[in-house]
Amino acid sequence: MTQTYASSSTGRGIDTAEVTALAEETLDWRFKALPPASWGLTVREYLATGPTLADLGTPLLTLDAGALDHNLTTMAAWCADAGVGLAPHGKTTMAPALWQAQLDAGSHGITLANLPQLRVARAFGVDRIQLANTLLDPAGLGWLAAELDTDPGFAFTAWVDCTDSVRLMDRALRAAGAARPVEVLVELGGPAGRTGARTEAEAVEIAEAVRAAPTLRLAGVCGYEGALAHDAGPSGLAAVRGYLRRLAALHRALAGRYEVARPVVTAGGSAYFDIVVEELKPLDEAEVIIRAGAYLAHDDGFYRGISPLARGAGTPLRSALHGWARVVSRPEPELALLDAGKRDLPYDEGMPEPQSVRTANGPRSLAGAPAAVARLNDQHAFLTGAGDLAPVGAVVRLGLSHPCTAFDKWSLIPVLDDVDRPDPRIVGLVRTYF
């Protein structure tokens, strides 16, 4: 893939040669976003032909170059002004070229969620990774030990949330003959949340177990506040703030026990990073890192409503993510069936949002029309309320909710220069690895 929307490419923290080599991948039937006219060409060669949106079929997922650039620079500036590090969650996109753009913009490193994702990142030379999870797979820990021992420049941290995890990690790393200790962060959770020790006392006990394990090194504390709330109402924000204060208290309780020069305190998905900064930034002796991942693509749904930058904390983000689907049937006057469904578009945080329609007469906005996607089947969307604006053959542009379950459905995603142009040009192809 060639990330032609990016303003620079310094290669900080990633192997730029591996990313650049994606432009030489040959296109073929594997990539459902592209037409047969692209088959046999490399990514670079296809982009050189000057393709446009009209050359692509449906169903389709695209990214908007201007929105990506805006979101990239907006978030980088926000974190710099706040004085915190950003290790964006790479599992959102699993796109090395987008990781490179984030690292070039100043990101501290890349966060990942599991072993397969970690292996992708290492294949592309990412040299600073936080695994926001506990790694217990013995074979995986053996592989990790080899990565750390053979690459002194590889900085890695993992999470732990119980003494059993500490014991199992230590056993597997000893068996692998690990020479370099694995840095770990003790995870604090909350009632009915996800992983994480439920009390500060448990977390302190885990920290002591880490200190006693020769293959591990206590490097900080961590958590995920997004598991405790799902809106920006007063009760949700209060729950998030209360949890973060507990995380700060745990960090203070572990003062003097850390085994690194500057411990890490990390929290912050894409929904509440403003509160994370308010509560954790005063911990001046710590390196505060947020892990927002959805900000780069943003959306027209969940994050549009809950992002701190939509709640007055800074310049709002823009949705870079759009679906495209063709009307293939009008079996009833107020029902249109589109050729995109659950296999193509995210739906776990809300149905796609009809935004405009393209016909032979050009694009037309659906603003003000009662158009809505009522439900999705595997390969169809049920569009209601569009009336005569959506005849058979028309292509509907859809705003999407939740980028984390959009990218995984597409192995190659076209990047458009401007989604609002009459015939947007394709200026990049983003390769994903799920």
Same fold, 16-64+318-431 and 68-297: no
The pLDDT assigned to 284 comes to 74
Condensed to tens digits (0 to 9), the pLDDT of residues 284-297 reads 799 999 999 999 99
Tell me which residue of 345, 337, 342 sits closest to 400, measured CA to CA.
345
The pLDDT assigned to 193 comes to 87
pLDDT at 1 over 70: no
What pLDDT band is residue 12 in, cutting at 50, 70 and 90? Answer: confident
Fold type of domain 68-297? TIM Barrel (3.20.20)
Helices 200-212 and 163-175: crossing angle, nearest 10°?
A: 20
- Domain locations in the chain? 16-64+318-431, 68-297
Residues 6+ away with beta carbon under 8 Å from 295? 71, 75, 88, 270, 303, 307, 309, 317
What pLDDT band is residue 3 in, cutting at 50, 70 and 90? Answer: very low
- Average of pLDDT values for 241-265? 97
Report cis status (omega within 30 of 0) of the bond before 308: no
pLDDT at 120 over 80: yes
The pLDDT assigned to 7 comes to 36
The pLDDT assigned to 10 comes to 52
Tell me which residue of 282, 285, 161 sits closest to 227, measured CA to CA.
161
The pLDDT assigned to 192 comes to 85
Whole-model pTM: value is 0.95
C-alpha dihedral, 399 to 404 to 405 to 407, nearest 10°: 80
Distance CA 72, CA 313 (A): 16
Note whether 284 and 41 are within 8 A (CB). Answer: no
The pLDDT assigned to 11 comes to 56
- Average of pLDDT values for 54-68? 98
Distance CA 46, CA 27 (A): 8
- Average of pLDDT values for 18-34? 97
The pLDDT assigned to 72 comes to 98
- Average of pLDDT values for 68-76? 98
Question: What one-letter code names the amino acid at 370?
Answer: P
Distance CA 56, CA 37 (A): 10
pLDDT at 99 over 90: yes
Q: Which of the following CATH numbers is that of domain 16-64+318-431: 3.30.1330.20, 2.40.37.20, 3.40.50.300, 3.30.540.10?
A: 2.40.37.20
Note whether 233 and 271 are within 8 A (CB). Answer: no
- Average of pLDDT values for 419-424? 94
pLDDT at 2 over 80: no
- Average of pLDDT values for 1-10? 42
